[in-house]
Amino acid sequence: MASLTLVDLRETTGALRRDDLPGVALPVEGPRALVREIVQSVRTGGDGALADLTERFDGVRPRALVLGREAMAAAYERLDRRLAEALRVARDRVREAYEAERPAASSLVADGIEVRRRIVPVERAGCYVPGGQARYPSSVVHTATVARVAGVRDVVVATPPLPDGGLDDATLAACHLAGVDTVLLAGGAQAVAALAYGTESLERVDVIVGPGNLFVSLAKQEVAADVGVPGAFAGPSEVVVVADGSLEPRVAAIDVAVQAEHGPHGLAWLVTWDARWAEQVLEELAAYVEASPRRAQLESTLEAHGYLALVRDRDQARLVADAIAPEHLELLYDQAVRDADRVRHAGVVFVGRAASAAFGDYVAGPSHVLPTAGTARFASVLGLEDFQRRLHVVEVHDEALSRLGWAVEALADAEGLVAHADSIRIRREAGW
């Protein structure tokens, strides 16, 4: 029976560091060597290697390696209307959230130098959409829509095939709605390699984004020298639920289970100052896990990385959350809004008793591609900037020679870089 491992912090005083708490120790060494081998094999073997590896790891040869817009549009027409409408709502909310964040071009003029900052989208983006333990049409929406708002010209989605070698209508329809150009029917490290290096049927991309399991995340690290891998380590899902007796125990129990049902290697914490109430939550959680059709996934995460932290008060609860730096943080007690603004490390914070992280997974607006494994200390949610480059145009008027030229010469002389200094001197001596 899955339970949570007790971490009693009530006697602990002062600051909490990340290493004071049990974390997720991902078993990376074996997978890393395998991922290296897979990437190399796709890099040299192209389409053939990709199909062979798909057969090896997904148990099927894809019916086609690449699908185009026609297949996506046809799937959208076939899709159940309620689901199509839900996907459209999710797409619209993600699109609106990111349209509101579009960075403005900026410029600065002073001393004869005009600096303009241009925002230039990458040309081709690869969005990895997981498909092992569950299918993720929502991840299509939460990656490709952001790429489109960022202005990317070609958007490719890579996702593993179904056991029949094809792809589900919901994922294809989501591609249609999100404006995807090409679908690559491959998953895991082999898909990441194909996106990074290209194959006979797929042109390589400029950046790879999107969540995935350990093999996907390690493959992104493996190819990072050759392709942009911006943003977070978006690995197995995580949640920290902070609540007390003002919340029904079953509601808290289910929220702990929400992210754990994704599959192995995830992380789930319940943090509370209400020990009696916590016992009721544990009972509810055990019953919920036992009855769930995703019991195996729930148990794999909860048994390895499911924790109950007993803390003194709200302040200590926040320190615990900050030390964990979880992907999702739920603050579900009264008056949590003030505390939300004091949180430093989390992928996203949900506040209010209605605030299930499932809203964020689907329709809140910000992408559900979020930092995991403690990387929320330095990484953020998928953003427009992950698909864009900043490019400065520096226009230098002659006036700058008299106003700033001397500083260039002084610094170049100090560094012994004579051509640097001469390039200014020669212009000044010409009387420009």
User: Order of strands across the sheet with 154-159?
Assistant: 66-67, 182-185, 154-159, 124-128, 207-209
Helix (H, G, I), strand (E, B) or coil at 407: helix
Token pair 């995991």 is found at 372
Q: Which stretch binds Zn ion (CB under 5 A): 65-73, 335-343, 360-368, 419-427?
A: 360-368
Q: Looking at 76, 215, 273, 288, which residue binds ligand NAD (CB under 6 A)?
A: 215
Write the DSSP symbol of residue 247. S
Question: Shortest distance, CB of residue 393 to ligand NAD, whole angstroms?
Answer: 35
Angle at 63 (CA atoms; ends 86, 177), nearest 5 degrees: 20
Q: Does the protein bind ligand HSO through residue 297 (CB under 6 A)?
A: no
Q: What is the DSSP string of 377-402?
A: GT--S--GGGGEEEEEEEEE-THHHH
Q: Does residue 145 contact residue 91 with C-beta atoms inside 8 Å?
A: yes
Query: Cα 40 vs. chain centroid, distance in angstroms?
Result: 25
Is 128 one of the annotated binding-site residues? yes
Helix (H, G, I), strand (E, B) or coil at 126: strand
Q: Looking at 28, 73, 108, 134, which residue binds ligand NAD (CB under 6 A)?
A: 134
- State the number of CA atoms in the 13 A half-sphere of 65 facing the CB: 20
Question: Shortest distance, CB of residue 216 to ligand NAD, whole angstroms?
Answer: 4
Question: Distance between CA atoms of 311 and 318, rounded to whole angstroms?
Answer: 10
Q: Looking at 58, 222, 255, 339, which residue binds ligand NAD (CB under 6 A)?
A: 58
Nearer to ligand HSO, 213 or 316 (CB): 213
Within positions 325 to 384, which residues make up the interface with ligand NAD, using CB under 6 A? Answer: 327, 368-370, 372
Question: Shortest distance, CB of residue 328 to ligand HSO, whole angstroms?
Answer: 7
Q: Does the protein bind ligand NAD through residue 201 (CB under 6 A)?
A: no
Is 368 one of the annotated binding-site residues? no
Q: Does the protein bind Zn ion through residue 361 (CB under 5 A)?
A: yes
Query: What is the bridge-based pairing of β-strands 306-310 and 5-8?
Result: parallel
Q: Does the protein bind ligand HSO through residue 368 (CB under 6 A)?
A: yes
Q: Which of 238, 299, 327, 330 is catalytic?
A: 327
Q: Looking at 234, 241, 243, 308, which residue binds ligand NAD (CB under 6 A)?
A: 234
Question: Shortest distance, CB of residue 213 to ligand NAD, whole angstroms?
Answer: 4
Inter-CA distances, 313 with 11, 272, 316, 341, 370, Å: 12, 8, 5, 17, 28
Q: Does residue 87 contact residue 174 with C-beta atoms inside 8 Å?
A: yes
Is 265 one of the annotated binding-site residues? no
Is 361 one of the annotated binding-site residues? yes
- State the number of CA atoms in the 13 A half-sphere of 213 facing the CB: 22
Nearer to ligand HSO, 121 or 366 (CB): 366
Active site residue 327: yes
Q: Does the protein bind Zn ion through residue 339 (CB under 5 A)?
A: no
**Torsion 298-304-305-309 (CA) sign:** positive
Q: Does the protein bind ligand HSO through residue 237 (CB under 6 A)?
A: yes
Question: Shortest distance, CB of residue 262 to Zn ion, whole angstroms?
Answer: 6
Nearer to ligand HSO, 169 or 327 (CB): 327
Is 420 one of the annotated binding-site residues? yes
Q: Looking at 131, 230, 383, 405, which residue binds ligand NAD (CB under 6 A)?
A: 131
Q: Does residue 229 contact residue 221 with C-beta atoms inside 8 Å?
A: yes
Question: Distance between CA atoms of 183 and 175, rounded to whole angstroms?
Answer: 8
Is 190 one of the annotated binding-site residues? yes
Within positions 245 to 274, which residues make up the interface with ligand NAD, using CB under 6 A? Answer: 262-263, 266
Inter-CA distances, 102 with 124, 414, 420, 429, Å: 19, 41, 37, 45
User: Order of strands across the sheet with 306-310?
Assistant: 5-8, 306-310, 267-272, 238-242, 328-331, 348-351
Within positions 42 to 81, which residues make up the interface with ligand HSO, using CB under 6 A? Answer: none
Q: Does the protein bind ligand HSO through residue 259 (CB under 6 A)?
A: yes
Query: Cα 283 vs. chain centroid, distance in angstroms?
Result: 32
What residues form the annotated binding site for Zn(2+)? 259, 262, 361, 420
What residues form the annotated binding site? 128, 190, 213, 237, 259, 262, 328, 361, 415, 420
Active site residues: 327-328
Interface residues with ligand HSO (CB under 6 A) are: 136, 138-139, 237, 259, 327, 361, 368
Interface residues with Zn ion (CB under 5 A) are: 361
Interface residues with ligand NAD (CB under 6 A) are: 34, 57-58, 130-134, 136, 139, 160, 187-188, 211-213, 215-216, 234-237, 262-263, 266, 327, 368-370, 372
